[in-house]
Amino acid sequence: MKEKLVKIQSDIDKGLKFKSSDRLRNLINENPNETELWNQLAELYYESGFLDAAGKYWILTEPTNDRIKKSVEIYEKSVNYSGCQILQEIKFRGDKTKLSEFAKKKLSELESDSKKKTNRIPNFLPRTNNFKSKDKDYKKTFNEKLFGFLFFGILAGIGILIIIGIATVFDWIF
């Protein structure tokens, strides 16, 4: 990860901030509990003048100075203070128990607000290479079930037609 951070800093120094932000977001997806990555991305957005985007990534950081407070306020205002919207946008896939007390409290507040206003809490599964087969609680969507039924229905239909064809050939011969 250190090598990636060095590459990101090199890109920032070259003025490749968009590329750097993509790389930082990818690192955050791989290491969601590394709040330093969240802070680095927020800092990059803040320096680039994107205060709402900075606020999005500082949302779980204790506001220790005015620029963090201001950015988070701008971000929250941009999503109409919707806990559900914030949870959907930050997509926290890490282990909440490893977060700071402030971050745990903030996530709880967002979840509570989301539950109160929309009667649901967005839940994001941790990223793995093939989470569908490893996750016991994974439920197939309607489209996945329909595709499965159609696929096996077509295979069964082909099998039946082959059997009927063979029976017809034997009937002609004998």
Sign of CA pseudo-dihedral 29, 34, 35, 41 = negative
Task: Clarify whether residues 9 and 79 are in a common domain.
Answer: yes
**Residue 124 counted as domain residue:** no
Task: Clarify whether residues 49 and 95 are in a common domain.
Answer: yes
Q: How many structural domains comprise the chain?
A: 2
Q: Rg of the chain's alpha carbons, rounded to an integer? A: 25
Task: Clarify whether residues 76 and 149 are in a common domain.
Answer: no
Q: What is the pLDDT of residues 12-55, one digit of tens each?
A: 999 999 999 999 999 998 888 888 899 999 999 999 999 999 99
Task: Clarify whether residues 69 and 13 are in a common domain.
Answer: yes
Task: Clarify whether residues 37 and 91 are in a common domain.
Answer: yes
**Residue 129 counted as domain residue:** no
**Residue 130 counted as domain residue:** no
Output the pLDDT for position 119. 83
Mean pLDDT of the chain: 87
Task: Clarify whether residues 6 and 89 are in a common domain.
Answer: yes
Output the pLDDT for position 137. 54
Task: Clarify whether residues 80 and 159 are in a common domain.
Answer: no
Q: What is the pLDDT of residues 124-147, one digit of tens each?
A: 666 554 444 444 555 778 888 888
The pTM assigned to this predicted structure is 0.66
What is the C-alpha to C-alpha distance for residues 155 and 170, in angstroms, rounded to an integer?
23
**Residue 64 counted as domain residue:** yes
Task: Clarify whether residues 13 and 77 are in a common domain.
Answer: yes
What's the CATH code of the domain at 21?
A: 1.25.40
**Residue 44 counted as domain residue:** yes
H, E, C per residue of 2-29: HHHHHHHHHHHHCCCHHHHHHHHHHHHH
Please give the helix or strand (H or E) that residue 146 lies within, else none: helix 142-173
Encoded tokens for 88: 């959907």
Residue 146: CB atoms within 10 A of its CB come to 11
Task: Clarify whether residues 147 and 98 are in a common domain.
Answer: no
Task: Clarify whether residues 110 and 144 are in a common domain.
Answer: no
Residue 142 CB contacts under 8 Å (≥ 6 apart), including other chains: none
Q: What are the contacts of 89-94 at 24+ separation with CB within 8 A?
A: 89/56, 90/56, 90/57, 90/59, 90/60, 91/124, 92/32, 92/60, 92/124, 93/29, 93/32, 93/124, 93/125, 93/126, 93/127, 94/31, 94/32, 94/33, 94/126
Task: Clarify whether residues 101 and 168 are in a common domain.
Answer: no
**Residue 164 counted as domain residue:** yes
**Residue 134 counted as domain residue:** no
What are φ and ψ of residue 16, in 5° steps?
A: -90, 65
**Residue 126 counted as domain residue:** no
Full residue range of the structural domain in which residue 159 is found = 140-173
Task: Clarify whether residues 72 and 152 are in a common domain.
Answer: no
